[in-house]
Structure 1
Amino acid sequence: MNISAVVEVNVWDRMRNSRRQSPPFTWFFRLLGVSYLVWVIAFDLSISYILVAVVAGLTPELRGAVMHLRSRKYGRTYRYVLSDEGVNIRTRLTNLDVAWDGITSCRETKRHWIMRFPGGGLLHVPKHALTPMDRQAVREVLAQHRLIKDEQQRTTA
């Protein structure tokens, strides 16, 4: 099985991925930024204070936007190849090979398969670039490697 997909990553995807990859303590900065914004508005302070509050509250999204601007160097087009051995991701300058054994868990959402590595790394494989038959083939491979539950096993058990 070789399933190939080409995806153009936009700024909204980068911001969402940055938000998902942020460590848990970033929510503290978000809360701090919102609290500071309420305080600035309550005391009618200058616009520069509001800017600091917005930056503190939107740190992951700003990081994603900066990453998108920097991505011109590496390319914004990703080519995903899913095979029986693992996942291969290529950009203009980089190449990433991940064996299925190197993935600790996988979660399926409406838009992605989110795969976790040891140490907290994430890999997002988008679904929108795959046909329904390809999606089913990916689910079967993930079930073979025990990363997701096989739906056929659930219905027969």
Structure 2
Amino acid sequence: MNIVVPVELTFERRLRNTRVQLRWFAWLLRAAGLVFLAMAVADSPIDLGSVILAMFYLFMPELLGIIRHLLGRRYGSTYTYTFTEEQIAIRTAITNLELPWSAVKSVRQRGHVWTIRLPGAGGFAILKDDLTPEQAEEWQAFLARRAPARA
């Protein structure tokens, strides 16, 4: 297997990746933001500090996406993922990372995206649309042989 996937990480894509990686935690932050906002509006007079805190929680996933985008600009906007039988290689404008499959914690399919989790809090997401039909078939066959994926 030798699947090469070049990915252009635009601002919108980084925001989407942040939401995918945060999953349920993003909804928990949003729910907390709504609760804080309801409590702030219920108070008379309205406490501006509570409203700001509520908005901070409500838009936390987007704020994290903006921060990731600003910090990630130094790596360039094109990431090239290469999947082989032995490893995953990730290349950017300034870095080259090679990881053996034994370093991968999990590979999961979630709707329109594959998430590859690494030890700690690391990981990345590949949209299914980034793979050609031939690559998608080869990827599925590889995962079936290795059986790390959970749908």
Percent of aligned pairs with the same amino acid = 34
Flag the structure with higher helix content: 2
Unaligned runs of 5+ in 2: none
Once the two structures are TM-superposed, the CA of residue 5 in structure 1 deviates from its matched residue by 1.6
> Once the 2 structures are TM-superposed, how far is the Cα of residue 96 of structure 1 from its aligned partner?
1.8
Q: 2:92: which partner in 1?
A: 91
Query: Which residue of structure 2 aligns with residue 155 of structure 1?
Result: none
Q: Does the CA contact (< 8 Å) of 2:19 and 2:26 recur in 1?
A: no
C-alpha distance in 1 between matches for 2:124 and 2:76: 17
Aligned to 1:153: none
Q: 2:82 aligned with 1:81, yes or no?
A: yes
TM-score (norm 2): 0.80
Number of equivalences = 149
Shift of 1:22: 4.0
**Which residue in 1 is equivalent to 2:5?**
5
**3-state secondary structure, aligned to 1:92:** coil
Deviation at 1:90, TM superposition (A): 1.0
Show the counterpart of 2:69: 68
CA–CA distance in structure 2, aligned partners of residues 47 and 92 of structure 1: 43
Which region of structure 1 is more displaced relative to structure 2, 123-132 or 16-25?
Answer: 16-25
Does structure 1 retain, via aligned residues, the 8 Å contact 2:15–2:65? yes
Which residue number corresponds to residue 142 of structure 2? Answer: 141
Distance 2:131 2:39 in 1: 47
Taking the TM superposition and a 5 Å limit, the aligned residue runs for 1:23-102 are: 29-43=29-43, 45=46, 49-102=50-103
Task: Find the residue that maps to 1:128 and give its secondary structure.
Answer: helix
Q: Residue 119 of structure 1 aligns with which residue?
A: 120
The Cα shift of 1:45 comes to 2.3
Q: Residue 31 of structure 2: SS of its match in structure 1?
A: helix
RMSD over aligned Cα atoms: 2.6
Which secondary structure does the structure 2 equivalent of 1:125 belong to? strand
Match of 1:154 in 2: none
Between the aligned partners of 1:104 and 1:66, the Cα distance in structure 2 is 25
- C-alpha deviation, 1:27, in angstroms: 5.6
Deviation larger for 22-31 or 4-13: 22-31
